[in-house]
Structure 1
């Protein structure tokens, strides 16, 4: 019995070690690629949060979700995730007028339609890199309008939150959203757009056949991300002058938010059950993504670090 148990433990250790090694390989490859993107767009990544920890963290999070993938498979997901951080910095931190936010939106949507980015918009230039790689993916042509629509949702949600935050900073809280409206704007995390970009890049038929179902789960994961991020960053949002709007500023407490997170997680588990048969890899991807965001932010971590 002891020998059998020892062999079983050794097999599990070997399997775990192999998975950890895969994560390490994918993280290093992803970090190198993202570091090259940062060097290619130095004017875009001048903010203090864009350090090696953030870049490595993005690559690590993506690798944890897809240990079976190749570095090439993860390149679009990594770049799209980093691009969302750059977009968030441009809108949420640097923009001081609504016209600036509108210009960012117009530039990005033009690039999504195929326009050549202007030299004065590195954010649009980086987006064009992502678009051009997706153009080489066989699945992209059929789904390009959906990809653009998902990008528009991300931009629109960021614009809405910018308006809420700006009004609150000016002392006007009359237009703050209720919790449900706030969660409807969880597209400002960009997670749904990142996921769609990844799925179109890999283009697996079993995934594309149930793309609507995958996107429905992804939207709930996105809401979980929004809430657990708020729980982790509330003190920063309160103390950092004109910090982000936070669900805990909308009349609910931590216990309520924790309960809502639990409901959303349970809903994700139920929605993922049939997908584990029809597209097991992408179901695993979403399940791991859900586990990662709840554990990462639940542990008090934050990609932005100390602003």
Structure 2
């Protein structure tokens, strides 16, 4: 399989193929500005990695992981400053640590459940567990979010997204431990384990998200739809690593790459329909969701976030 074969078809946006002669690449000046924002964000990430050394071992949390994460955020929201992207980066990094603990460090279902209980308690305002860097980092995140004006409205959404992510991670860990192979639909219904919508909710609080309940419902539905697309794009790009690490992957569920490609196209089309109404009411939210989806379509052609173990 070539690198180009790994890129699934998507409808519209930057996911379509481009050549230098088509004049559709971003200008060099704009690219330079975006990379400068990413560079500042990466320095923040390096500080967080250093502040929680037991939570982020050098393998698989190498320099490329923080670099590519900061690039993903900067290119997905080029109108945001490094400060505005700070929380998305911070929560995304925390979610990577959680995923590592749940999938590879925890040795039992009981341990996974204990991790979830500690995290939910801290998300509700409890003190972090002494000696537990995961909850100490989460308490730091919560304190910063709680100081934001939007937390009064979006705090419950943030806690709900955390619950959804923890439940989904536990469910996938249970599938793997018991040797259960879910259907593709069951697998997609569990896409909250990706953590995209949790990080996105954190970003909304930090940048001042919608306060109208009707708007919030539409934003969350669009976020969940994009999350499902990214779940499959991730799987198409990380198949070889997932085989080595023993992870679940859509391509290990008895479906072909062509079938997954078709699902990506259909889910992307649905996502764009849900995002469409947001372009007028919340253009930055709509643009960010769409660009996250398109960025992943390009990124997973060639690379993965994780380092080696």
Q: When the two structures are superposed, what TM-score results if normalisation uses the length of structure 1?
A: 0.89
Match of 2:305 in 1: 303
Q: What SS does the corresponding residue of 1:45 show, helix, strand or coil? A: coil
Structure 1 residue 306 displacement after superposition: 3.1
Of residues 255, 259, 269 in structure 2, which corresponds to 1:256? 259
Check if 1:160 corresponds to 2:162.
Answer: no
Match of 2:46 in 1: 35
Q: What SS does the corresponding residue of 1:155 show, helix, strand or coil? A: helix
Counterpart Cα distance in 2 of 1:92 and 1:138: 35
Match of 1:180 in 2: 185
Match of 2:269 in 1: 266
Match of 2:30 in 1: 19
Contact 1:199 1:208 in 2 (8 A): no
**5+ residue gaps in structure 1?**
1-11, 169-174
Q: Is 189-198 or 267-276 further displaced after alignment?
A: 267-276
Structure 1 residue 14 displacement after superposition: 12
Match of 2:285 in 1: 282
Match of 1:247 in 2: 250
Structure 1 residue 17 displacement after superposition: 2.8
Counterpart Cα distance in 2 of 1:194 and 1:215: 12
Contact 1:276 1:283 in 2 (8 A): yes
Of residues 206, 218, 223 in structure 2, which corresponds to 1:218? 223
Counterpart Cα distance in 2 of 1:107 and 1:189: 20
Structure 1 residue 147 displacement after superposition: 1.0
Of residues 48, 53, 74 in structure 1, which corresponds to 2:64? 53
Structure 1 residue 237 displacement after superposition: 2.1
Larger radius of gyration between Structure 1 and Structure 2:
1
Q: Report which structure shows greater RCO (CA 8 Å, sep ≥6).
A: 2
Counterpart Cα distance in 1 of 2:204 and 2:76: 13
Counterpart Cα distance in 2 of 1:152 and 1:206: 21
Structure 1 residue 262 displacement after superposition: 0.4
Check if 1:195 corresponds to 2:200.
Answer: yes
Structure 1 residue 272 displacement after superposition: 1.8
Cα deviation, 1:69-97, whole Å, max 9, x if unaligned, reads: 12211111000000110000000111110
Match of 1:144 in 2: 155
Q: When the two structures are superposed, what TM-score results if normalisation uses the length of structure 2?
A: 0.88
Contact 2:164 2:192 in 1 (8 A): yes
Across the two proteins, how many residue pairs are aligned to each other?
287
Q: What SS does the corresponding residue of 1:49 show, helix, strand or coil? A: coil
**5+ residue gaps in structure 2?**
1-22
